[in-house]
Structure 1
């Protein structure tokens, strides 16, 4: 193998590694943007719920099914956000401590913040165990 072939191979390998890393960065950025959009939807629904609850309160009405539907929609949005956060952890090759939510290297056995022993259970981005 000539020196030129060796240099060409190293440049090609480096370019492939950089492309893989930049692809992950782009995907993480897209996921973060999606999370922000989903969180904005939740904020709007919170405002609608608050306004509706207050109007019902003023009118002396019991809470209705529309509020229940909005609460269910918020739960669905939070599930979606947690899935995206889990994907980000996966792309970054890290995990979240199930006790305190601190981001840890995938191979860490103990959390450096709370000291909890890490196990093999899947943990979501909010630090909650998946069952």
Structure 2
């Protein structure tokens, strides 16, 4: 019965792994569709904004309020799109470069497009990498420097 139990355990583990991957794939697909919908809505808003601007120029009327509303709506949609793209990058285990916007693998240290460092250094990591300075006082007096050089040579 040991072999049968091992097969059942392996089959359950495989099924749960496949289910987990399928769930991740579905989440990524939903986010992609959401991003596409937001892009379509942004394009529609740009088109409407262009019509308002065209009509106001053609008729000579002022439509500054309508233009401002259109711009604000587009900006809000761009913020939503940025949030969706950030979630999508997290699901894919990608990191977006702060300089050029390129998506990189989360294991990358530098951007593959522009070479920018992807993870900023923290204060702790910079102190750990710097070599320790000698504890002896540094002096500008050449005679004292010669004395220390003679001691190290002897």
Same fold at TM > 0.5:
yes
Q: Say which SS state the counterpart of residue 109 (structure 1) adopts.
A: coil
What's 2:97 paired with?
97
Give distance in 2, aligned partners of 1:58 and 1:77.
Answer: 28
Q: Distance in 1 between matches of 2:102 and 2:8?
A: 41
Following superposition, the deviation at residue 30 of structure 1 comes to 1.1
Gaps of 5+ in 1: 122-131
Q: CA RMSD in A?
A: 1.7
* Aligned residue-pair number: 121
CA drift of 1:120 comes to 4.8
Q: Highest Rg: 1 or 2? A: 2
Tell me, in whole angstroms, the C-alpha distance in 2 between the residues paired with 1:61 and 1:33: 39
In the alignment, is residue 5 of structure 1 matched against residue 9 of structure 2? no
User: C-alpha separation between the residues in 1 aligned to 2:113 and 2:54?
Assistant: 41
CA contact (8 A) 2:52 2:66 kept: no
Q: Which residue of 1 aligns with 2:25?
A: 25
Q: CA deviation at 1:112?
A: 2.3
TM-score by length of 2: 0.72
Select the structure with the greater relative contact order (CA < 8 A; seq sep ≥ 6): 1
1:75 partner SS: helix
CA contact (8 A) 2:97 2:118 kept: yes
